[in-house]
Amino acid sequence: MAGHPHKQHATPAAAAAALLLLAGCAAADPPVDPAVEEIRQTLDARAAALLEHDRAAYLAALEPGADGLRAAQGEEFDNLAEVPLRSWEYRIKGVRHQGATAVADAEVHYRIAGYDAAPVTASRTLELAERDGRWFVTADRASAGTPQQLWQQGDVDVVRGSRSIVLGVGQDEQRLRELVAVADRAVPAVSDAWPSEWAGRVVVLVPDSTEGMGRLLGAPGAGYRGIAAVTTGETGRRAAAPADRVVVNPEAYGLLGDFGQAVVLTHETTHVATRAHTTAATPMWLSEGFADWVAYRGTGRTAAEAAPAMQEAVRTGDVPAGLPGDRDFAFGGDQDTIARAYESGRLACELIAERWGEEKLTAFYRTVGEGRHRDGAVERALSEELGVTSAGFTVMWREYLTAVLG
């Protein structure tokens, strides 16, 4: 005959002890891997040596006898010599180790003194080996799919301006000085057009070629041929988000005259200034059009002079039915389509500035960026700030194109 399971009732004291035991288990920290802390110490010492410009201490973190590694890392250290670093920190994201070897997935967080309120982040993969109780770096490389840093392309020359700093590789000093002068003029021009608070300074990177530009951006260089500059950074960013960088294509930028170079750097500096108010809700016709509007503002150029591609379309009766979509701005696309897209966006911003005023234009930009999603963001801002519908604004914009370009 099968018996019933025996039930044992715990006393209150025993039950309380059991609960305390369970609570202790739940709250216990995971066991600390001593290797991770030792690796952290190695990387912390390496970071301190870099900030202190101590080449010998920086190389002391490398495996003894690894001559090739020491030569490569020594060259990278030398490339960084002129860069005014405020901070440099390794943050370990994970360690995979077996015995006396390990692979650490890490991030380098660094800031340029006087310019970066928040750090730039670069993912690194480091291989290490333990020798006599100490961990040494045996390999240090960019993580897969991670863009290069400028100093990984060569010796970095630095020119400081009053409102900008230019870091270049493979450029003569005079060219960098000319760039910093243009950037210094761009900053106050942007501040005058964009009253919202922003850093009021800009960092410009100049690689030695279009291919080098692509490596800085983590994409094939061919996609940037004909593109004079781009701006990197997080849209809708918090104060702690990574810092912006304006990356100049030395080949395309060098083909521009003084006016074109000023337009390009003012355009890109506008992206830096408006970054916190540019979100997924902001269409490219507005973000790129506003940047172009700021760049041409006060130059005396007429709408026709600043929009030759759009003027040709209007005069042949090809007035677009609506504002350009994001895909019309795609790098590597049809050049006429891209030109018309930029010009169309700028003229839409010009229309708002002329009819409603510049303050309403900047308010419209900010209100669009407050949207959580693209759908409805522009329509809401048009209604709240300008008192028009999307359809009504499109009609006004098409009429404006005909009036100023026809």
Element (H, E) at 309: helix 308-315
Instruction: Return per-residue pLDDT of the chain as tens, 406 residues.
Output: 444 333 334 434 333 333 333 334 344 455 557 889 999 999 999 999 999 999 999 999 999 999 999 999 999 999 999 999 999 999 999 999 888 999 999 999 999 999 998 899 999 999 999 998 899 999 999 898 899 999 999 999 999 999 999 999 999 999 999 999 999 999 999 999 999 999 999 999 999 999 999 999 999 988 898 899 999 876 665 555 567 899 999 999 999 999 999 999 999 999 999 999 999 999 999 999 999 999 999 999 999 899 999 999 999 999 999 999 999 998 777 889 999 999 999 999 999 999 999 999 999 999 999 998 999 999 999 999 999 999 999 999 999 999 999 8
- In DSSP notation, 213-274 reads HHHHHTS-GGGGTT--EEEE--TT--TTSPPPEEEE-HHHHHTS-HHHHHHHHHHHHHHHHH
Strand-pair category, 134-142 with 85-98: unpaired
Contact 203, 243 (CB under 8 A): yes
Q: How confident is the model at residue 238, as a pLDDT?
A: 54
**Closest by CA position to 62, among listed 151, 129, 5, 12:** 129
Look-up: residue for tokens 């930029």? 342
Q: How confident is the model at residue 394, as a pLDDT?
A: 98
241: left (phi over 0), alpha (psi -120 to 50) or beta: beta
Distance CA 385, CA 364 (A): 6
Q: How confident is the model at residue 326, as a pLDDT?
A: 95
List the structure tokens of 318. Answer: 């090809």
The structural domains of the chain, ordered by start, are 34-146 (3.10.450.50), 148-273 (3.30.2010.30), 279-406 (1.10.390)
Contact 120, 111 (CB under 8 A): yes
Is 316 exposed, middle or buried (CB count within 10 Å of its CB: 0-12, 13-18, 19+)?
exposed
Distance CA 285, CA 338 (A): 11
Look at residue 88 and give its three-state secondary structure.
strand
Q: How confident is the model at residue 168, as a pLDDT?
A: 98
DSSP class of residue 5 equals P
Residues 6+ apart with CB under 8 A from 152: 76, 79, 142
Residues 6+ apart with CB under 8 A from 67: none
Residue 135 bridge partners (DSSP): 130
Q: How far is CA 59 from the centre of its chain?
A: 30
Residues 6+ apart with CB under 8 A from 314: 401, 402, 405, 406
Q: How confident is the model at residue 234, as a pLDDT?
A: 64
Distance CA 175, CA 254 (A): 9
* The amino acid at 32: V
Residue 59 bridge partners (DSSP): none
Q: Can you state the percent helix, strand and coil of the chain, rounding each to 5?
A: 50, 20, 35
Does this model's pTM top 0.75? yes
Q: How confident is the model at residue 358, as a pLDDT?
A: 98
**Closest by CA position to 387, among listed 354, 362, 355:** 355
